[in-house]
Structure 1
Amino acid sequence: MSNEAVQEAQASDHFSMFSSQSARIKYSYNTIREVKSFTVGELFSAYRDILWDDGRHKYNVSSFVGEIGEILLGERFSAFDQSTLDNLIGTLRQRGNSNATINRKMAALSKLLRKAYKMGDIHSLPEFRRQKERAGRIRFLEKDEEARLFAAIKSRSEDAYRLSVFLVDTGCRLGEALGLIWNDIQEHRVSFWITKSGRSRTIPMTVRVKDVIKLPPTEGRRPKGPFTKLSQAQFRTIWNDAKAEVGLGADDQVVPHILRHTCASRLVQGGIDIRRVQMWLGHQTLSMTMRYAHLATNDLDGCVVVLETPRFKGPDSDVEHALPSSTAAAQETKSGSVEEKPSPKAARKSSKTG
């Protein structure tokens, strides 16, 4: 055997040893899975009770998923590709959905698909991009509107009235208030454990709130919490009847959530900084609280003083110059007009003549 043949044989033996020691391949038939396809509705039926708690939000998500399934014509899929998502968003926009509405619907779909992906039901996910939202006008109640609305609610239900006062002074969500139990309420503070963001928070109570959480003496067992006698549906029915009575029935922004906006607006207008308002409301991000930042106008009041400074025209030009505030004030008479002071030369001439 030639030297070349011997070297080739040695190399072959070396490769065999390397491949057998370093590249061991195991085959397991247990990991082979049948590729199945699902509709959006089938995935929602499988995971809705795991992903969403019972309540209005779950009801809204059910409506969103139903509309998405209808747009997709009940198509079954094992992978949700980017073109399908882009076509879905385009169809929603053609139907008149705003970017904010599209974002809410896509958030529900994204949550559902991510769960299905983790469970192995689908094997690819598209990239969900948040649509740019325009900052809309935030409606909140004026003091007189609150008084009229709350009076109408109280005439229908004392429990609904107590809940309304609690909502506007704490700024909590309706579901957070209804989920309270007595252990969540201390002497001066209330803690919210069941929240939309999943983060608990504790805030101090106003005098009004302390009064309304006290249940009137009644016979029988005390309920589990201060507002557990009411359901969301019952409260909304009372709310809608009361707002129609006081002339707000046509305003579709006057919903129970307006009480949260009202609380936030009053905090900002009262000079509370945005960070503290974020903590009070339990917002997950500061950008959510920044929707109320335009109401913090106290720091801009000094700008008006500068703009309202009296102005005068120079003697040799038509250009206006700002008078120093001290000079302007000294020249103002009781009537608000500015006196013309004689020049020193004119004053000396006048004294000689006298």
Structure 2
Amino acid sequence: MSMNKTEVLPKGIRHHKSGGFIVDFTRYGKRQTKVFRTLEAAIKGRIALLEAAKDEPQARTGWTLNDAYRRTHTLYWQGNGGERVSLINARTAMTFFGPEIPVKAITQEGIGDYLTHLLESGLSGSTVNRKLSALSRCLRTAQEHGQLEVLPKMPRRREGEHRVRFLSKDEEEKLLKALDTLGYGQEVTDVVLCLLYTGFRTGELWKLEARDVDLQNWTLTTWKTKSHRARTIPIAEKIRPVIVRRCQEVGEGRLFPYDNMWMRTRWDRARELLGLSKDEQFIPHMLRHTCATRLARNGIGMPVIKDWMGHASIQTTMRYAHFAPSDLTNAAKALSA
């Protein structure tokens, strides 16, 4: 059996720089590695390690990582906006360490091995940090319940500043035209405009009900948010006709009875029509970035933008600060004078 470096290797096996194959196996936080000359030998070697592990005594004292994961889910993640991502990140740790490892057996050395594993998987610094945070939250839960004395330190990675992708006015017009060309009708256009001029997350828009609309004061209130704090924003004039029509159509209940899959299918077809299939940042969430960017460019202060967008921290809002008008413009004029 032969395999080149572009093909996918079985789980727990990776290429060695010498041309052979490395078998990785972690049991109760202890990482074992062994080099084999051929892929066949590596597969057999990993199977042998797994079989040997079954015969090892499983001394259990206190909580396992799975216990901490389940309790953390119940106390901190369940029903939250980021629940799905938190669970995925925590399960990555359970796959590496094993769900039955006692939390007391996850040492600082084991954390270092886990970090190495994440980096070797080609993950970005921000993704690595999210996965470490999920594990840290599980271990903190165990510590809060008297199941862990010392909390291992999480060696965070530096996160690069990523370009904030937003729609220009020209792109907005082209996107709406593309949706019309595809024959989706008014419903998709309504969604795009409301996401763009409210800055709502898609999940917030899907949960918006007619009773959350105040047509007398022209406001919208979203109750189930990522930060667990309801917020009310004015309805921009651009989408007032859309909101009024939606309220009349649904009577009661959800104004936009859709979901992310419904949205993504239609969005991807429009993106393809626009010739932007390779633009990985051209996604529905970009509409939220566009809203915040336009607020900043029109001189709205960061604290106001924070409240409008529903950010839990001003640090999140500050990613848009460089779009705001500043004294640098006057400085440029001074140089030209």
CA contact (8 A) 1:215 1:226 kept: no
CA distance in 2 between partners of 1:113 and 1:159 (Å) = 45
CA distance in 1 between partners of 2:62 and 2:310 (Å) = 41
CA distance in 1 between partners of 2:210 and 2:137 (Å) = 33
Could you say what the CA RMSD is over the residues aligned between the two structures, in angstroms? 2.7
Q: 1:284 aligns with which of 294, 312, 317?
A: 312
- Paired position in structure 1 for 2:140: 114
Q: Deviation per CA, 1:47-104, whole angstroms, max 9, x where unpaired?
A: 5355334688433333323322232255611324333223222321232222211122
Q: How many residues align?
A: 273
Aligned pair 1:38/2:67, yes or no?
no
CA contact (8 A) 1:152 1:246 kept: yes
Taking a change above 3 Å as real, the CA distance of residues 301 and 153 of structure 1, as seen in their structure-2 partners, is same
CA contact (8 A) 1:81 1:124 kept: no
Taking a change above 3 Å as real, the CA distance of residues 53 and 144 of structure 1, as seen in their structure-2 partners, is farther
Q: 1:294 aligns with which of 322, 327, 332?
A: 322
Matched residue SS, 2:232? strand
- Paired position in structure 1 for 2:122: 96
CA distance in 1 between partners of 2:120 and 2:211 (Å) = 49
Q: 1:204 aligns with which of 208, 212, 234?
A: 234
CA contact (8 A) 2:82 2:226 kept: no
Taking a change above 3 Å as real, the CA distance of residues 47 and 293 of structure 1, as seen in their structure-2 partners, is closer
Aligned pair 1:70/2:107, yes or no?
no
Taking a change above 3 Å as real, the CA distance of residues 122 and 286 of structure 1, as seen in their structure-2 partners, is same
- Paired position in structure 1 for 2:267: 239
CA distance in 2 between partners of 1:218 and 1:48 (Å) = 39
CA contact (8 A) 2:195 2:201 kept: yes
CA contact (8 A) 2:164 2:289 kept: yes
Q: 2:83 aligns with which of 46, 53, 58?
A: 58
Deviation for aligned residue 1:121: 5.1
Q: How does 1:108-187 map to 2 (within 5 A)?
A: 108-120=134-146, 122-128=148-154, 130-154=156-180, 155-187=183-215
Taking a change above 3 Å as real, the CA distance of residues 224 and 119 of structure 1, as seen in their structure-2 partners, is farther
- Paired position in structure 2 for 1:193: 223
CA distance in 2 between partners of 1:122 and 1:161 (Å) = 52
CA distance in 2 between partners of 1:123 and 1:95 (Å) = 31
Taking a change above 3 Å as real, the CA distance of residues 236 and 120 of structure 1, as seen in their structure-2 partners, is farther
Which of the pair has more CA radius of gyration? 1
Q: Deviation per CA, 1:101-130, whole angstroms, max 9, x where unpaired?
A: 112222222333333443455554323464
CA distance in 1 between partners of 2:268 and 2:69 (Å) = 31
CA distance in 1 between partners of 2:80 and 2:228 (Å) = 15
Q: What residue identity is the alignment partner of 1:35?
A: T
Matched residue SS, 1:214? helix
Between stretches 80-89 and 190-199, larger displacement belongs to 80-89
| Structure with more strand by fraction | 2
Matched residue SS, 2:103? coil
Q: Could you tell me the TM-score, scaled by structure 1's length?
A: 0.68
